[in-house]
Every structure is written in structure tokens, then in C-alpha cells.
Amino acid sequence: MLVLLPPSEGKTAPAAGAPVDLAALAFAAELTESRRKLLGALAALGRAPLKRAVATLALSPGQASEVAVDAALEEAPAAPAADVYSGVLYDHLGLAKLPARGQKQVLIASALWGIVRPADRIPYYRLSMKAKPAKIGPLAKFWREALAAALPDEEGELVVDMRSGAYAAAWKPKRATLLAVRAFSEEGGVRKPISHMAKAVRGDVAKVLLAAKKAPNDPESAAALAESAGFMVGLSPGFMDVIVDR
């Protein structure tokens, strides 16, 4: 089993530490060139007119200071991704406290790095899939070929997807079984997608699956684990729906 996590918009900036070493990141052979191109594009934006840079990075005016942060990423202190990424999903998951076998099953999607593992050392940054850097273009499209070459995709493997649609567009397995986790409320037999609790639900479900002594290898065993932890779930092709109280 692999569990694909989204990055978090909120991040904890490392206070100290050596900068990122691209050669030490996961899938370096396949992804370093793309990572280097993006770092170069962000450095160039730091020299561009601020208003244009803010628009290119899809930032709000109040986030304009992030342009300078992104321009200096190669010198910024780095820390394990498990410590840098924060927010609701990560608070509920408790990534750093998972057993080692569980952490090895986690891949974290990123607009900047493509994919990282929890132990990969990265700096604080601000880049979403909405950004369209010059000579790079839409980031999901930019990453698609490199991720297809890098990521494991074996028949019989279960890939549990906690990513949002923008990140899912960058890579989907062709041979492995993809199981996306969604959150719904239900009233009178009618299910409605929820957004305010979806991240918490995904974090809680991911924690259950990653902490299991035996990792699930198909949607049915993943659903059984979630149900044993008290979740109400339903399976449909490609999806595990978690039903929660509003």
C-alpha cells in the first residue's frame, strides 16, 4: 500500500539547518531536473516586478512577501517534510508519530518538489498548483511525465489517495488500484460532499491505515480497517466514501 497525501498550505518554517540537497530527495534521478527548473523560475520571479510575480504565483496581495522567500529557497534552512507540513490533515494524521513501516508507505505531493517522502529535508516555501511560472506553465502538466517515470505503479498495489483534484491531476497510476478517499454527510439517504471536515477525515483515515499491523492490499480490506476504527464507509469503483455527522 501507498498513501498519497496533499501538501499543506500552512507550513512550519525550519529555524535552522542545512539547505535542501536535491540529490538526497526521493526519486532524485527522475525528478531533480524538474525541481531545479522550478527553483530557477522562482529565483527569476524574485527579480521580476512584484505585482507580476504575485499574479504568477497566484498569491494574494497580503502574501507578497512570499515571493522573496521562494526566490531564496536554495539557501533556506531545511527540515524533514513531516515537520514542515502542518495543518488540519497533518494534525489528525500525526505523521511523525507513525511507526517507521507506516512512514515508508507515505508519499507527499508537492507543486515544487513533485513528490517527497516524510524524511526528505525541505525548506518552507509557498507554491500551489494554481501557479503558472513563465516557461513552466500549468504545474500539473509540468509534472505529469516526470512523475509517471518516477513513481511505483505495480499491478496488485493499492494506492490510497488523499490528494485534492489539482494534485491528483499530476499523477494517477495506470496499473495499481487507486482508491480516493472522500467525505460526505448523509441525510434521508442523500449524500452530500463536505469540505470543512474533509481534511480531518482524510487525516484520521490515513492514520488508521498506516498504523495497521498488516497494510491493506485492496479497497475491501482498507474499508474493513476504517470500519473497525468506527468509520461508516461505502465503496464504489475508485472511491472510499466516509460518512460523517455534520
Query: Could you state, in chain order, the average pLDDT of each consecutive group of 10 residues for the chain (246 residues)?
Result: 94 96 98 98 96 94 96 97 94 90 95 97 96 94 97 96 95 97 86 87 97 95 97 96 85
pTM of the predicted model, to two decimals? 0.95
How many CB atoms sit inside 10 A of residue 204's CB? 21
Per-residue pLDDT at 9: 85
* Domain locations in the chain as residue ranges: 2-243
Per-residue pLDDT at 18: 97
Per-residue pLDDT at 246: 62
